[in-house]
Chain A
């Protein structure tokens, strides 16, 4: 299993803060984004190829090519706006 976290606008629009997914067929973060995008509706819109999505694996900045392993914590969030 992997834990997937959503923050800020993503969490609100998806209506979910986190979920657990089987890692099967999820080799990298890009695979996860494609899987979520296929759910359609808000998922399809937020994770469409032209959308800006920031990602982290185990609390370190990641990209679509970052590999996934059992037990990983993946976070997906919109561009940050602190400071």
Chain B
């Protein structure tokens, strides 16, 4: 079962993992990725982050990424939660949690989902630094991570 959410409210990663597991005795492995807001980027102090998205397309893009992961690996449950709006350092930005019978599938699928999310899902970060606000630039290393999966 998949659960995909985009929300401005904070979320509790531990609670999300409990909900993913839901006492399902057939689950053998859970792999979780939690993306957190850092207080430093490109050498500058960051006090605040604003996350913009494209409502409608964002949810659709995440659904497609999770569907692709399910097509590539045998998975039991996937959970993706992404914050939008205002965030502070230490806040969880995104959670990807995957449950499967064995660890390999869960590790691969979790990495695949976050790699694709970073280059395909329409979210944009704007950060507040001592010099003012600025849009975060996309990273070439993220593109490479997505391309690596395409070759497989």
Write the residues of chain A forming the contact surface with B, with a CB cutoff of 8 angstroms.
5, 7-9, 12, 52, 54, 56, 59-61, 75, 77-83
Contacts and interface: CB of A to CB of B under 8 A. Distances in A.
Interface string B53-75: 11011001100000000000000
Interface stretch (B7-15, B24-32, B116-124): B116-124
A53 B123 CA distance: 14
Contacts, number: 74
A18 to B, nearest CB: 11
A79 B57 contact: no
B118 A80 contact: yes
Contacts of B123: 80-83
A60 B60 contact: yes
B51 interface: yes
Contact of B54 (A12, A52, A75, A83): A75
Interface residues of B, number: 27
Contacts of A78: 124, 135, 138
A29 to B, nearest CB: 15
Contacts of B60: 59-60
Nearest to B118: A83
Interface in B93-114: 93-94, 114
A59 B122 CA distance: 10
Contact of B94 (A52, A75, A79, A82): A82
A81 B125 contact: yes
A6 B35 CA distance: 26
Given A56-B54, A83-B94, A9 B135 contact: yes
